[in-house]
Amino acid sequence: MRPNGRHAAGASQLSAIRVWAMALLLLSAVALSPTTAKAAPSQAAATTHVYLLRGVLNIFSLGLDTIGARLEAQGIPVTVANFVSWSSLADEAATAYKAGRLKTIVLVGHSSGATALPDMIAKLNRLGVPVKLAIGLDSVFKTKLTTGAERYINIYIGDGPGEPVKRADGFRGKLDNVDLRGSGVGHITIDKNEAIQRRVIAEIDAAIMRSRAPAPVAEPGAPRQARSAAATTTPARN
């Protein structure tokens, strides 16, 4: 006996729906698995804290909020605050570091927030707390580093208000001055620029990875190896 046409059509449609559902589930698993793996906080990320310092009036550095949200999505704790809070934030970071809750400190600032970074680094160093990475976005005043973060990246607009950061006596660490002149990026937009935000986050991720790696043990009498240059593009350096 021939099957009812309506029943056969319905069964065929149901079978097709099941196939599509299974295909969508497989595609979702493939699409979501990398994001889930990236968002899962590692121990190094959980013991890292990123302090993001806004500039004047708290209204011109809102790109730092976007960077902070993206870092939090990776499981990295952040604090976003106005640059005038740098001293109290340094005290908080030092307390957490000495209590063992915090191992890796990263500082990011825009405009006046970038200008405040050397002062925050200096205070943390006086308190016996190292800074793994500091990134300044278009510091608006002449800025000198008297003490060091392990790495300091100053991204500035040479044909605008920004200036290169200078090394002062006693400076330790690695300093990269990156000049964005001619790029079309402005002082008000540098923190909101997608490429700059990706660069900042990539540098922070790399710093966290470095903090996970064990420090090399030099053999007695062996010469110290020179530090490697930055892998990222740096159009201009001091």
Specify the pLDDT at position 198.
98
CB 106 within 8 A of CB 133: yes
Closest CA to 201 of 106, 130, 120: 106
pLDDT in tens, 7-39: 444 444 445 445 344 443 333 332 323 332 344
Q: May I ask the CATH architecture of the domain 41-212?
A: 3-Layer(aba) Sandwich (3.40)
pLDDT tens digits, 208-238: 998 876 544 434 444 444 333 333 334 444 4
Please give the C-alpha separations between residue 132 and each of 28, 124, 209, in angstroms, as whole numbers.
37, 11, 11
Give the DSSP letter of residue 146: S
Q: Which amino acid is at 17?
A: I
Considering the chain, what is the average pLDDT of its residues?
78
Taking each continuous run of H as one helix and of E as one strand, the counts in the chain are 7, 8
Half-sphere exposure (Cβ direction) of 116: Cα atoms closer than 13 Å: 24
Of residues 15 and 117, more confidently modeled: 117
User: For residue 213, what pLDDT is reported?
Assistant: 62
DSSP state of 74: T
Q: For residue range 175-220, what is the model confidence (pLDDT) as tens digits?
A: 999 999 999 999 999 999 999 999 999 999 999 998 876 544 434 4
Cα–Cα distance between 65 and 113 in angstroms, integer?
13
User: Which pLDDT does position 214 carry in this prediction?
Assistant: 55
* Residue 2 pLDDT greater than 80, yes or no: no
Q: How far from the centroid of its chain's Cα atoms is residue 80's Cα?
A: 13
Positive or negative torsion for Cα 190, 196, 198, 203: negative
Strands in 92-237 per DSSP E: 104-110, 133-137, 143-145, 151-156, 165-167, 174-179
pLDDT at 146: 78
